[in-house]
Structure 1
Amino acid sequence: MEISACFLASSLLLLVSSTSATDSKNNPADQLVAVINKNRTSHKSPALFDNAGLGCIALQYIKAYQGQCGEVGDNKKPPDSSFLDTFAPNCGVKPSTLAPITGRLLACQGTYVSPEEAFSILIEDRRSLQILHNKNHEEVGAAVSGTDGGAPYFWCVLFSNGTTNSSFVPQGGVPKTVRPGCFSGNDDDCSGAHGSSSAPWTMVAGIWIALACALAV
């Protein structure tokens, strides 16, 4: 009876971990883009194309700050040459498809906030509002990442006037997966942007219980 209960417990843990991994539909970077487009359309500006290559580059933009929240500001930002030399290669984006960046929004917080709250933090003054509604934008890419899986948390939005489906094009059609963090446009669930997901640990626990059961037989 004890052995049956043991195997039942391990099976349930493995089932829960599998369900968590497959059913999670949570990418805060995509949610931020949705908030941005909703705000734009409510102000009679067109919605922007969510470009996965640009989203990946937004995540690289975050990583250039190396977790230094105090470095965020107008006078301290990655040089434009980083897009060609570092960001595009790290994302697997073809350099020849890079398009001009027409706007940048970046914020850093000591605690994780929802995409809606992040939007309010990013759009904090008239200048950022002008960036949001700039008529030159055609596409957008967003990213969010903690530092080594924890605080501080960076949110980044990049805008471009590139042509849909022909700018920021990744090799093979899919940008490289970069962790920690999430970027928009890639259909990737990323509930772990503000910490490690519990699913892997649940799976490990289930495996250990199963092994213990086998040894007890």
Structure 2
Amino acid sequence: MALQYVELCKDNCAATNGSVNCNPPEDDFTEVFGPNCGVELPTFGTITGHIVGCSQSKRYIADPEAAFSEVLVRDGRSLSVVRNRSHKGVGVGLFGVHKGPFFWCVLFGDGETNSTFMLEERGQGIKQKKGCFSGSAFACNSSNLIRSLGLWLLSLLLCLVLHILRG
């Protein structure tokens, strides 16, 4: 769902500071993003926060720490979202425009770890709906290993930061 959210913002990257001026309606999570990915509405948790950032750099920032500090958490508002103690889960989406900026989206939720929502028919209800796992134009098996590893490491870093902040 973070991928779908960030794709809506692909034309809104500020050239000077990497901020993203994009605010899709909150209802889009339950009415658009969730159903597109086969999420059962009664199991959909609350989105407790989100951070969206972009980099005008033509290169992908593969280092999770650099992406975290240079793109996602540039100000006190973003840091306060990360420090919010109501977060229990995190999802990350990354989207790159050809020869253009890269966008990151981090969604935080209040659902139990790894169980914020359930997929229809235990995940068997959808074959592949574009935008759920690997972007709108790519099939699930088309993801780049390095980018996948970078996203995994970024997710791990965010989970570690949340754990430390809750101390």
TM-score by length of 1: 0.52
Equivalent positions of 1:21-40 (< 5 A) are: none
Superposed, 1:63-74 pairs within 5 Å as: 63-70=7-14, 72-73=20-21
Q: Deviations over 1:118-167 (max 9, x none)?
A: 100211122211111111111101111112x5421101101111123432
| Alignment-derived partner of residue 118 in structure 2 | 169
Which runs of 5 or more residues in structure 1 are unaligned? 1-56, 195-217
- TM-superposed deviation, 1:177: 3.5
Q: 1:113 aligns with which of 46, 61, 64?
A: 61
Q: Could you tell me how far apart the structure 1 residues matched to 2:76 and 2:86 are? A: 17
Cα distance, 1:85 vs structure 2: 1.6
Cα deviation digits, residues 58-106 of structure 1 (max 9, x gap): 1111112244324813xx3110011112111222222221111111111
The whole-number CA distance in structure 2 between the counterparts of 1:65 and 1:150 is 16
CA RMSD across the alignment: 3.0
- Computing the radius of gyration from Cα coordinates, the structure with the larger value is 1
Structure 2 counterpart of 1:144: 94
Unaligned runs of 5+ in 2: 149-167
In the aligned structure 2, how far is the partner of 1:193 from the partner of 1:69? 20
The CA distance in 2 between the partners of 1:108 and 1:181, in whole Å, is: 19
Instruction: Name the TM-score, length of structure 2 as normaliser.
Output: 0.66
Distance 1:96 1:190, change over 3 A: farther
More helix by share: 1
> Which SS does the other structure have where 1:99 is aligned?
coil
Q: Distance in 2 between matches of 1:192 and 1:68?
A: 26
1:133-212 aligned within 5 A:
133-147=83-97, 149-171=98-120, 172-173=122-123, 176-179=132-135, 190-191=144-145, 193=147
Q: Between the two proteins, what is the percent identity of the paired residues? A: 37
